Amino acid sequence: MPTPFGDVYSTNITPDLDTGIGRYSADEFVRAVREGVRRDGADLYPAMPFDSFARMTREDVLAIRAYLLTQVPIAQPRPSNILPFPFNQRWALGLWKLANVHVGGFAPDRSRTEAWNRGSYLVEVLGHCGACHTPRNTTFGMDEDRKLAGGTAGIWQAFNITNDKIAGIGSWSDEELFRFLKTGAVPGKAYAGGPMAETVMNSLQHLSDDDIRAMVTYLRDVPAQSGEEKRPRFAWSNPPVATANDSSRTTAQGSGNSAGADLYRSLCAGCHGVNGEGSADGSYPSLTRNSVLGAAAPENVVMTILAGVRAGDVAGRKSMAAFGDWLDDSQVTSLANYVTARFGNPEVSVTAADVRQMRAGSTTEQTVMLLAAQALVAGGVGFLLIFAFLLARRHGAVPRQM
């Protein structure tokens, strides 16, 4: 799992005795899921979203355990995490938890309907939507005051899904939201790519319609939070070029980026259409009126080109190949800038340096954050040394200069 701090490997949760959860008692298992504590007492990294699971009912945790215990045990130790200092210090997680984890069960709000409460439990706890969609505060916990106002999942932007009509999904209909959660595809609005495609493929598509409706009920009630967008992400649709040969307009709309236009025509137009209109049967999505291209940030466009889309054939959706191995950073940059300017939000662009970092798994912001954290710790250690020195001097351990 890529995190802003480095790569964390998820653990083996098959019933294997030595490398899995075979020796966990019921209580130990509940503690791991809700409090993020390993059987040996060490703290787990919050890459496992126990800050969301903290309010899961004991009954549900034990039901999950019962299911896992029927799986085939697989002996497989996990690779070591790739985390730079100071994030490789597990003890520091205790401090993080004090600030950010509130264990205490799920208390239904009696003034709301049963569907709202069910939706709240599914969105906030089991579905841990906030793990990706809620921005992080200064201690990197979920910012409870800006619930679902847009966060990150690795490099991917997990968009604002509050009720704001511009920055969020306030102008989607209930039916569109239902369809997105159930299938990941809503022509004219959005398609689930990256980690959201996995969420739909591995989880949401299996929920009952009633549960999805309950989530829609709850999401409709999440207070609106405004953001950077000036119009809804899905609302960008630059007028189509009349014919494929009308290169003057193509160039104008692609901001003079002829390398991008050439790449688009040879690699993308076959599926997405010369004018980005998608295929007539809707199986290849339209690139106009598409929330990824209309977003205020370029990450998801770049990541879609690099990594493709694995839609898992949910409701007949097709997947898109990854182009990361075939295109160099400057080609990805031309292409991303061309499709964004032509079909989406023309104010957004990337540089080849941004693309290189995204390919490597970090953004400039994350690199700056890491350096800042290291500087902070180095500063803290320096401060402690000076403090210890002064203290020692006071007690006469270090000779005083007269």
- Residues of this chain that bind ligand HEC (CB under 6 A): 123, 127-129, 131-133, 153, 156, 158-159, 161, 169, 180-181, 185, 190-196, 199, 215, 219, 233, 267-268, 270-272, 284-285, 287, 290-293, 300-301, 304-305, 309, 311, 317-320, 323, 335, 339
Is the distance from CB of 86 to CB of 5 less than 8 angstroms? no
Q: Which two tokens stand for residue 1?
A: 């799992």
Q: Which is nearer to ligand HEC, 16 or 179 (CB)?
A: 179
Q: How far is the CB of 276 from ligand HEC (least distance, A)?
A: 9
Q: Which is nearer to ligand HEC, 15 or 232 (CB)?
A: 232
Q: Which is nearer to ligand HEC, 13 or 181 (CB)?
A: 181
Q: How far apart are CA 249 and CA 239, in angstroms?
A: 10
Q: Which is nearer to ligand HEC, 103 or 322 (CB)?
A: 322
Q: Which is nearer to ligand HEC, 31 or 317 (CB)?
A: 317
Q: How far is the CB of 284 from ligand HEC (least distance, A)?
A: 5
Q: How far is the CB of 169 from ligand HEC (least distance, A)?
A: 5
> Which amino acid is it at 193?
G
Q: How far is the CB of 308 from ligand HEC (least distance, A)?
A: 8
Q: How far is the CB of 41 from ligand HEC (least distance, A)?
A: 28
Q: How far is the CB of 161 from ligand HEC (least distance, A)?
A: 5
State the Cα angle at 64 between 58 and 69, rounded to 5°: 125
Tracing tokens 């259409």 back to the chain, one arrives at 273
Write the CA distances from 296 to 120, 164, 276, 346, 366, integer angstroms.
28, 15, 19, 9, 18
Q: Which is nearer to ligand HEC, 15 or 278 (CB)?
A: 278
Q: How far is the CB of 73 from ligand HEC (least distance, A)?
A: 27
Closest-approach residue to ligand HEC (CB): 193
Is the distance from CB of 160 to CB of 168 less than 8 angstroms? yes
Q: Which is nearer to ligand HEC, 101 or 169 (CB)?
A: 169
Cα 288 from chain centre = 23
